[in-house]
């Protein structure tokens, strides 16, 4: 007898009409604890709105170290020719670099910092690993936008994450102002999963990471989700935006002289490991979606190398 087909509680990329279904999974997977790096008000805001902006998590010396690493990676020839380097469609400027933690001990250390990891463990209810990491450069003048989308809709359809038990921590590496293409998020949109009926094209990530069309919701669904309000995540370098994998978000183009560079770490519960992609396409490459190392991360505090140490 064939194995029972796994029940897909988040059907999408399956043709037909768009559907908005209440999520069967909780938003927060363990009760608030005072030692987990969020105030009870921040924890409540995350659960209610699907995101929370936490100011001043990392200090100026740590940010200087991260920005230096950002610049090193942006100029290192060997890296820019790799598939992890994604360029803007129009200008060819560097848009994103995926899996920075595999090419930078600095970013590999940052994702283990308890100021991020403890929050992810609290909200996801236990051990976590990094499903995806990326630096979004959003360069001055030429940083193009990211249309409205739910990350989880893609991570479910194209990577095979079965349940809604993942979140993103976006560490601002530059000023995120109202003007330079900040992340914009729809409050309380995380509670409804909106299907995107268009089937997934082959090798879709080669296009979607530059400009996503398939996997973006229809206008009527977006208008419905926007009823909770839209908020720009404003914060200085060192602030962190924690947002649920299903929170509807995007960002406009950056036409200012000021880059909006953020590093994103996607923490996924070790109990939510990827299965075969639910949209029926082959799994995406490992630099976009972790497929082998699901060990729970151990917290180690990030320390910027002190300047002048010989
Ligand atoms: O496809 C993905 O996984 C990526 N795409 C977007 C627009 N956001 C999440 C992630 O970086
Ligand atoms: Fe996204």
Pocket lining: 149 vs ligand 1, CB cutoff 6 Å: yes
Find the 151 Cα to ligand 1 centroid distance in Å. Answer: 6
Find the 32 Cα to ligand 1 centroid distance in Å. Answer: 29
Pocket lining: 115 vs ligand 1, CB cutoff 6 Å: no
* 177-190 confidence digits (pLDDT tens): 999 999 999 999 99
Pocket lining: 134 vs ligand 1, CB cutoff 6 Å: yes
Average pLDDT for 3-12? 82
Q: What is the pTM of this model?
A: 0.96
The reported pLDDT for the residue numbered 310 is: 39
pLDDT band at 309 (very low <50, low <70, confident <90, very high): very low
Q: Are 131 and 266 in contact (CB under 8 A)?
A: yes
Pocket lining: 150 vs ligand 1, CB cutoff 6 Å: no
The reported pLDDT for the residue numbered 4 is: 58
Find the 1 Cα to ligand 1 centroid distance in Å. Answer: 38
Q: How far is CA 250 from CA 60, 106, 186, 255, in A?
A: 27, 27, 9, 16
Q: Is the pLDDT of residue 62 over 60?
A: yes
- 38 SS3 class: coil
Test site for ligand 1: of 154, 184, 245, most ligand atoms within 8 A of the Cβ: 154
Q: How far is CA 156 from CA 48, 57, 106, 119, 149, in A?
A: 23, 30, 29, 23, 13
The reported pLDDT for the residue numbered 308 is: 45
Mean pLDDT rounded to a whole number for the chain: 96
Pocket lining: 146 vs ligand 1, CB cutoff 6 Å: yes
């Amino acid at each position: 007898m064939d194995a029972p087909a796994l029940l897909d509680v988040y059907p999408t990329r399956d043709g037909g009409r768009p559907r908005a279904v209440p999520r069967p999974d909780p938003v927060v997977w363990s009760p608030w604890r005072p030692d987990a790096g969020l105030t009870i008000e921040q924890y409540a805001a995350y659960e209610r709105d699907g995101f929370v902006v936490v100011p001043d998590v990392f200090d100026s010396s740590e940010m200087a170290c991260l920005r230096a690493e950002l610049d090193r990676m942006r100029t290192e020839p060997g890296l820019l020719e790799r598939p992890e380097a994604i360029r803007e469609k129009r200008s060819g400027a560097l848009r994103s670099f995926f899996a920075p933690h595999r090419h930078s001990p600095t970013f590999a250390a940052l994702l283990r910092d308890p100021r991020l990891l403890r929050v992810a463990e609290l909200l996801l209810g236990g051990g976590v690993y990094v499903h995806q990491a990326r630096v979004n450069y959003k360069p001055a003048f030429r940083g193009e936008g990211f249309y409205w989308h739910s990350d989880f809709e893609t991570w479910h359809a194209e990577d095979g994450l079965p349940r809604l038990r993942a979140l993103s921590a976006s560490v601002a590496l530059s000023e995120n102002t109202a003007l330079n293409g900040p992340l914009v998020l729809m409050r309380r949109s995380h509670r409804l999963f909106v299907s995107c009926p268009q089937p997934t094209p082959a090798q879709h990530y080669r296009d979607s990471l530059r400009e996503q069309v398939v996997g973006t919701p229809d206008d009527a669904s977006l208008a419905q989700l926007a009823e909770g309000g839209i908020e720009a995540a404003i914060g200085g370098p060192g602030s962190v935006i924690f947002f649920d994998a299903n929170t509807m978000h995007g960002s406009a183009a950056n036409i200012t002289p000021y880059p909006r560079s953020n590093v994103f770490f996607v923490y996924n519960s070790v109990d939510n490991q990827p299965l075969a992609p639910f949209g029926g396409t082959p799994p995406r490459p490992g630099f976009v979606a972790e497929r082998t190392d699901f060990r729970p991360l151990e917290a180690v505090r990030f320390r910027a190398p002190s300047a002048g140490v010989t």
